[in-house]
Structure 1
Amino acid sequence: MPPAKKRTRSYDSAKIRAAVLAQFGNVREAVVGLTAEQLALPTALGDWTVRELVSHLAMAVESVNRTIELSAELSTQQPATTPATASIPTASTPTPVLPLLRWPFVTADLAPDISRDVKAVAASASPDELFERTAGRIAALLPATPDDRVITTRVGAMRLGDFLVTRTIELIVHTDDLNRAVAGLGVPYDRQALAACTRLLADALAVKAPGASTEVRIPPYAVVQCVEGPRHTRGTPPNVVETDPLTWIRLATGRTTWREALDAAHVSASGERADLGGLLPLMR
């Protein structure tokens, strides 16, 4: 994957923080009412049950707590010196920080480790306990931590503000998985969280297929241009793809295929460069 050339979209910090907490709250409220039979239901995520899926949703936010705590511990540690080494100058090597638009492309290899951890966490406590514990911790830790704090995540160092944007993908994508696994559950999607998730995945497409011959529209949240070819300068582009946010998110994360979405009329595509089937999914 070539490095991103696209300028990263800016996100409103207060809105992202509120969105993460709101969507986490939406899921928490729904999880409280799940029965043992519902928790044992299968999901579309391999061998995960609903219990493991909701545990992963709690872990998506608990990871914010863990990384904040770890960064605080590291910031208080001082390098040890001895008389033999104290006078020797040392070069400080800054930690490379993962850009936000790289995150969707570097998560696939983590799946085995994540699945192992999810099963362990799901077996260690009830979903109610996990969500209550995580809610209390993030309420204490997040307000006191600035967005520019560099934290250590599974994929490397990231700024907290960027990592919080990635949490909207985790929460929205897996809320959709949960809604599809438990009939009639109907967990709502926070508008700001859905918007951020849609936009980040749309921008990732523009990174994967740079160009300006095709316009991808995901109203009301995102419009991006991508795919190499003749650039249009005015009027209606010759190649246009349009879909709704949830269909886009399912396409981008492999929950549905391009052909399935076309056949169900959940996506419209016009123009010779409007077939995105070979570019999707962006992440799994």
Structure 2
Amino acid sequence: MARRDFSGLAGNKYSLRAKTWHMIKRIDFISNRLGAMGDLLVTTWMGIILSLLTLAAGGFGIVQGIISNGMHTALVNTPAMLLILIGSLLIALNFLMTNPSMGLQVVVSIRFLFLKTKDKEGKKSFEFNPFRFVEGIESKSVLETIVEGQSRFLVVYSVRGAVSPVCFDNDLNELAGLNSRLLFNIERDTVLGTLISIQSSKVEEKTLPPNATEAMIRKRDINYDVTSKLQYNQQLQTLVVISAPSLDVLRSRIESVEVIFRQGLVIGYSRLQGEDARKAMQEIY
């Protein structure tokens, strides 16, 4: 399967301070409903103007569909007008949002779709599915991809870091030593990457025992009511990805990494399997 190089989509190629209409304007009603993407993407005055023009063009098309032929074909044109409405909203949203490092999101989306559907000659389309589970591993915890014609095998860990604002210098020195040992054990044929993202946290009521008192229930309800109404209720998600050229090498690297994890480099870790691993890699890619 052919693979595309998406590195051209990255980099600081767009200055938000270049012009007056590039000034950032956050729209909480939209950004708060986009989850982690709402913290990554911003809105500029130019994006607002372009999105309004897009909505106006979509509205003009809908009005034309209603009044054409003396409104005799308005009912027949209803499916087309619904498609115009949905398309206008989606395109306007892409115009509205701006990626600080890559420019207008609509341009980023168009370039991504072009690279997704075309090969180097621009003639053949292909299915964009860069990862698959390795056959023969029932746990579905190992993924395979193709890089420059060679297979690479990956595992993904979800970890909780040990560093916090209250760490003492001795703790930091010990963690630095463990991290140095980890990197020393990772040879040149293996890549270890750490990805940190902001996720919206899901607040759930604490499960109480059947003999819970009224005071315990009231305290639980108060805590849930306070935390569920926080406007910016978010949490950090840290993923560690290990990539190796073969399964044998990957097994050796997994043993080395998990030994360092258990020695205190992280508070807790778990290897993602099945749908969790697939979802994590799709979000990263």
Q: Which structure has the highest helix share of the two? A: 1
Give the TM-score taking structure 2 as reference length: 0.24
Q: Which has the larger radius of gyration?
A: 2
User: TM-score scaled to structure 1, two decimals?
Assistant: 0.24
